[in-house]
Amino acid sequence: MSIQLSIKDLSKRYRTGEGVSDINLDVAKGELVTLLGPSGCGKTTVLRSIGGFLEPDSGDIQIEGRSVVKLPPEKRPTTMVFQSYNLWPHMSVYENLAFGLKIRKKSKAEIREAVAGALRLVRLPGAEKKLPGQLSGGQQQRVALARSLLLQPAVLLLDEPFSALDAKLRHEMREELREIQAQTGLTMVFVTHDQEEALALSDRIVVMNNGRVEQIGEPQRIYDDPASLYVARFIGKMNFLDGTAQGEFIRVGRGEFPNPKGLAGPVIAAVRPEDVRIGAADDRALSGRIKQSMVLGHYAEVSIETETGGTVRSFLPKDAVRELDIGQNVGISFAKTIAYPHTNESTGG
């Protein structure tokens, strides 16, 4: 598979000290890669550098094997979809979509055909005559997406495009974007702070922290095997327990768990709630007391106060909680644990 976008040793620092350093990333043709992280982590800096809206301090950006780092935005084979739709309110949907094609000297017939095709792709056929103000937020974002698609970019850049929409619309737009990507084969770089969005959309995720890359991988790999404590804290729900690593085992309270990394000394054991098993109290298991139980649709979340003083949350089938009572003593085991060295940073966030 050919590389469509290559970022090499990209650095961009602001006077505040924020920015990015030593970013390296290759994006394959037809791949959807998401830059994920909290506000200020540098993900939008990377995206805007690709689009030409920021000039890097150092490094190179190549698209289809050609360096674009010295080109202005309008000369780059990229288009960007912003959080704000950036539609001209006094122009019809057709006029908004046709504008870029007119600049490219397309014929009226070509423009009509292309606009109609783009509107079908974003599920808004027949909306040509409407003004943006007559459309819902989700429909306006579809038009903004169609406008970018019409320019047939080598790389489509999306800067938190769904964050202004309500939860139901965000979910729908994610599905539609994935379908469009599958139909068009477009290469996309998507920015979000929403880990659920990243897990649902991406071929690969780039987790960023303080201007640097923490981990790059497929969504399932990032979820199942976080490379650092930061990634473990950021992706999905996770239990964190203080433990001690010695030899082949990690001890948390009376519980013993494998130590495949060969860690030694104080550690933090990370366990997904779906990997927490609740059984009868047992001298060999970590013990605790049922603190709370909440049914959340098709599953239940059970909180257990452990012998070590920490709280462990478990996701169970909703029918399983009928046999559990508040205050009941139980034994806790883990189907899977990941351990990280206990450092000064471990106690933060």
For range 259-283, the mean pLDDT: 89
Please name the residues in contact with 243: beta carbons below 8 A apart, sequence gap of 6 or more.
250, 251, 252, 257, 266, 267, 268, 269, 339
CATH T-level assignment (fold) for domain 3-230: Rossmann fold (3.40.50)
For range 58-70, the mean pLDDT: 96
- With cut-offs at 50, 70 and 90, classify the pLDDT of residue 347: very low
For residue 205, give the nearest of 183, 234, 176, 177 by alpha carbon. Answer: 234
Q: Is the pLDDT assigned to residue 348 strictly greater than 80?
A: no
In the chain, the percentage of residues whose pLDDT exceeds 70 is: 97
What's residue 283's pLDDT? 67
Report pLDDT digits (tens) over 292-342.
998 888 889 999 998 877 899 999 988 888 888 898 999 888 888 899 998
Report pLDDT digits (tens) over 8-56.
999 999 988 889 999 999 999 999 999 999 988 999 999 999 999 999 9
Do 3-230 and 238-347 agree at the fold level? no
How many Å is the Cα radius of gyration of the chain?
25
- With cut-offs at 50, 70 and 90, classify the pLDDT of residue 175: confident
Q: Tokens 């603190």 sit at which residue?
A: 291
- With cut-offs at 50, 70 and 90, classify the pLDDT of residue 285: confident
What's residue 349's pLDDT? 36
Tell me the pLDDT of the chain averaged across its residues: 89
Q: Tokens 């309110």 sit at which residue?
A: 89
Determine contact, residues 334/239, Cβ cutoff 8 Å: no
What's residue 215's pLDDT? 97
What's residue 284's pLDDT? 67
Structure tokens at 198: 């990243």
Structure tokens at 160: 């938190």
What's residue 126's pLDDT? 85
Determine contact, residues 177/71, Cβ cutoff 8 Å: no
- With cut-offs at 50, 70 and 90, classify the pLDDT of residue 102: confident
- Report the alpha-carbon distance of residue 195 to residue 297 in Å, rounded: 21
Q: In what order do the strands lie in the sheet with 249-252?
A: 255-258, 249-252, 239-246, 265-271, 338-341
Q: Pick 238-347's CATH classification: 3.40.50.12780, 3.30.450.40, 1.10.287.3510, 2.40.50.100.
A: 2.40.50.100
- With cut-offs at 50, 70 and 90, classify the pLDDT of residue 214: very high
Total-model pTM? 0.88
DSSP structure class, residue 265 = E
Task: List 232's β-bridge partners, or say none.
Answer: none
- Report the alpha-carbon distance of residue 328 to residue 278 in Å, rounded: 11
Angle among Cα 179, 183, 186 to the nearest 5 degrees reads 95
In the chain, the percentage of residues whose pLDDT exceeds 90 is: 49
Enumerate the domain spans of the chain.
Answer: 3-230, 238-347
Report pLDDT digits (tens) over 135-158.
888 888 889 889 998 888 999 999
